[in-house]
Amino acid sequence: LAKTTQPISMDSYEGQEVNITCSHNNIATNDYITWYQQFPSQGPRFIIQGYKTKVTNEVASLFIPADRKSSTLSLPRVSLSDTAVYYCLVVRMDSSYKLIFGSGTRLLVRP
Amino acid sequence: ETGVTQSPTHLIKTRGQQVTLRCSSQSGHNTVSWYQQALGQGPQFIFQYYREEENGRGNFPPRFSGLQFPNYSSELNVNALELDDSALYLCASTLGGVPTDTQYFGPGTRLTVL
């Protein structure tokens, strides 16, 4: 599976838009990009998944350029409760359901 | 709330002991995966069960074993505990239809090995 690279940490302020970029240079044709959020002492929670171009749901947007070698998770108008670790994963469309997590990006939202 | 529950919440064991962790998957989900998360790291895939059969395993030794029951609940057993086994153990359930289906994680069991 394609290895992902994302910043170790990011700081932001309440009300700002946060963009977290993930690099996945070796992504394959049948791979999807998925983002999870994790709060301390809780299990990860699915945020968004996409294959190409742009996907938007009620909590985030995911931008994927044509070459799919990177992706950007966009969180609009963050609040203190968005302080968490965000994981970018590449999920393969095969018989396996395993998720390969990296170290994630620790987002700190300040007042 | 994901509908995935795990027990116990916390557990303290000593080196060499054995432990069993339990997971109840979300209703209708036939696939359960287990992950180990050490402090400050991302979760690491241990293994997965699909309809009571192991369906993939990560880089963990055989002393990590599991079971899935007809109601799709699951157990993770760890024998001969080592200090490095101290971690948050997470289970995740999936509907099981498509690999890109969302995995719903439970709150985890915090295991401390002394």
For residues A77 and B114, what is the distance between their CA atoms, to the nearest angstrom?
A: 44
**Whole-number Å distance between alpha carbons of A60 and A73:** 7
On whether any CB of chain B is under 8 Å from the CB of A29, the answer is: no
CA distance B15 to B56: 27
Q: Terminal CA-to-CA distance of chain B, rounded, Å?
A: 31
B42 touches chain A (CB under 8 A): yes
Q: Which two tokens stand for residue B50?
A: 């699909």
In terms of Cβ atoms closer than 10 Å to its own Cβ (0-12, 13-18, 19+), residue A42 is middle
> Within chain A, what is the greatest distance between any pair of CA atoms?
44
Percentage, residues of chain B above pLDDT 90: 68
Q: Would residue A15 be called left, alpha or beta, if left means φ above 0 and alpha means ψ between -120 and 50 degrees?
A: left
Q: In what order do the strands lie in the sheet with A9-13?
A: A9-13, A105-110, A84-92, A31-38, A45-50
Distance between B94 CA and the closest CA of chain A, angstroms: 8
Q: Which residue has the tokens 């303290």?
A: B12
| Residues in chain B within 8 Å Cβ distance of A103 | 41-42
Residue B106: list chain A partners with CB under 8 A: 43
Distance CA B86, CA B81 (A): 9
- For B4-28, the pLDDT digits (tens) are 999 999 999 999 999 999 999 988 8
Residue with tokens 């838009």: A17
Chain B residue at shortest CA distance from A96: B99
Using an 8 Å CB-CB cutoff, list chain A residues near B88.
Answer: 41
pLDDT of residue A96: 65
Instruction: Answer whether B107 sits within 8 Å of A91, measured CB to CB.
Output: no
pLDDT of residue B50: 87
Closest CA to A91 of A48, A38, A44, A34: A34
User: Digits of tens for pLDDT over chain A (111 positions)?
Assistant: 678 999 999 999 999 999 999 999 989 888 899 999 999 889 999 999 999 999 999 999 999 999 999 999 999 999 999 999 999 998 887 756 678 888 899 999 999
Distance of residue A77 Cα from the nearest chain B Cα, in angstroms: 24
Other CB atoms within 10 A of residue A58 CB: 5
